[in-house]
Amino acid sequence: MKSGAHLQMRWMELLVAACFAGVSLLVITDSIRVGNAWGSDGPEPGYFPFYIGCLLLGGAAWVIVQTLLAWKQDSGKEVFAEKHEFNLMLLMLIPTAVFTAAIFVLGIYVASLIFVAAFMVWQGQYSYFKSITVGAGISAALFLLFEIWFSLPLPKGWIETWLGY
């Protein structure tokens, strides 16, 4: 296989461990801010999280060191994901992110209709009619279940407001 046709495990390992380390630093600095020592009336609020942060940082450091030690041996053979696999994953992730953003603007019912229908047309090559029917069915079912049956309001956009909800 050509190198570069896949995402290397070792890089992802480093990236995730670095994220862990970043989080641990946030935890440790804030614990020191609120006090991580023994106050007049017992342990201060940062006492427990401080050690949690330290363990997290230690773990991340361990993973980073291990990955670097095995760096040459591995030589990038271990696969995190093949390029085409990763692209497939993005084909799910990006529409989901757009869908989430769309809820803010359009409300969940309209956003769901468009999301389900678009995904069906785009990924499943269904006809527009079929896709919109399924999307509308899902939105209608959600509406009946949540607004009417359980009276739990879901986020709404201008269309629902226009219809009087």
Partner 1 sequence: MEELNNLFHGFGVALTLPNIGFMFIGIFLGVLIGVLPGLGGANGVAILLPLTFGMSPTSAIIMLSCIYWGALFGGAITSILFNIPGEPWSVATTFDGYPMAQKGKAAQALTAAFTSSFVGALVAVLMVTFLAPVVAKFALNFGPPEFFAVQLLTFASFIGMSKEPPVKTLMAMMLGFALAAVGLDSVTGTLRMTYGQESLLKGFDFLVAVIGLFGIGEILLTMEEGLAFKGHKGRITLKDVLDTWKELPKYWATSLRACLIGCWMGITPGGATPASFMSYGTAKRLAKHPEEFGKGTIEGVIAPETAAHAAGTSALLPMLTLGIPGSPTAAVLLGGLLIWGLQPGPLLFTEQKDFVWGLIASMYLGNIVGLIVVLTTVPWWAAILRIPFSIIAPVIVVICAVGAYTVHNSMLDVVLMLVFGLMGYAFKKLKYPMAPLVLALVLGDMAETSFRQSMLISKGSLGIFVSTPLAGTITGLALIMLLWPVLGLLKKLSRG
Residues in contact with partner 1 by CB under 8 A are 9, 12-13, 16, 20, 23-24, 26-27, 30-31, 34, 38, 42-49, 52-53, 55-56, 59-60, 62-63, 80-81, 85-86, 88-89, 91-93, 95-97, 99-100, 103-104, 108, 112, 115-116, 119-120, 123-124, 126, 134, 138, 142, 146, 150, 152-155
Pair type for strands 6-8 and 79-82: antiparallel
**Alpha helix (H) residue ranges in 42-157:** 47-69, 71-74, 83-124, 128-143
In the bound complex, what is the minimum distance in angstroms from residue 161's beta carbon to partner 1?
A: 16
Those residues whose C-beta lies under 8 Å from the C-beta of residue 102, and which sit 6 or more positions away, are 110, 111, 114, 115
- Closest to partner 1 by CB, 75 vs 96, is 96
Closest approach of Cβ 8 to partner 1, in Å?
A: 12
Shortest distance, CB of residue 103 to partner 1, whole angstroms?
Answer: 7
Q: Is 79 in contact with 12 (CB distance < 8 Å)?
A: no
Residue number with CB closer to partner 1 (75 or 89):
89
Host H or E run for residue 9: helix 9-34
Contact 97, 90 (CB under 8 A): no
Residue 59 or 75 having the CB closest to partner 1: 59
Nearest-angstrom CA–CA distance, 165 and 158: 9
CB of 110 to partner 1, least distance (A): 12
Closer residue to partner 1, CB minimum distance, 12 or 74: 12
Neighbours of 41 (CB within 10 A): 6
